[in-house]
Amino acid sequence: MLYIRKGFQLSTPSFTAQTSVRLHYLNLPLLAKIKAGGLVLEAGPQLGYLLSLRDYNPTLTLREQRSVDPYQRWELGYAAGISYELRNGLGIGARYNAGLTNVRQAPNRIRNASFQLHLSYLVARR
């Protein structure tokens, strides 16, 4: 399980200020891995659950925690990545994940997408 913060900015022609929205997710990726030496390729589906969200509007100068009602609680998506693992268990990698379902329904249909960088340490080796 991974905790992930995603977000987006909304702006309208009638307002000069943009509103930033931060979405807090708990994601469960189910990834198949292919190893070639230290190189690891991974891909598969992931399921996300929206824990909370916050809005930030520069004209208000506060962050406001809002109800998640206009947003979908569950998100179905996919992830794909590449990493390199050293023999001592240390690893570094990058992953792209994107949603297949809309985060929010009309009038703004929004889907999540993000890049992740990660460091890892493999505790047990086979």
Mean pLDDT of 57-69: 59
Q: How far apart are CA 119 and CA 121, in angstroms?
A: 7
| pLDDT tens for each residue of 6-38 | 877 776 665 566 777 788 999 999 999 999 999
pTM: 0.75
Count up the domains in the chain and report the number: 1
Burial readout 94-105 (b: 16 or more C-beta within 10 A, e: otherwise)? ebebebeeebbe
pLDDT tens sequence across 81-94: 999 999 898 999 99
Q: Is residue 49 part of a domain?
A: yes
Kindly state whether residue 23 falls inside one of the protein's structural domains: yes
Domain membership of residue 126 (yes or no) is no
pLDDT digit string (tens) for 36-52? 999 999 999 999 999 98
Range of the domain at 89: 2-121
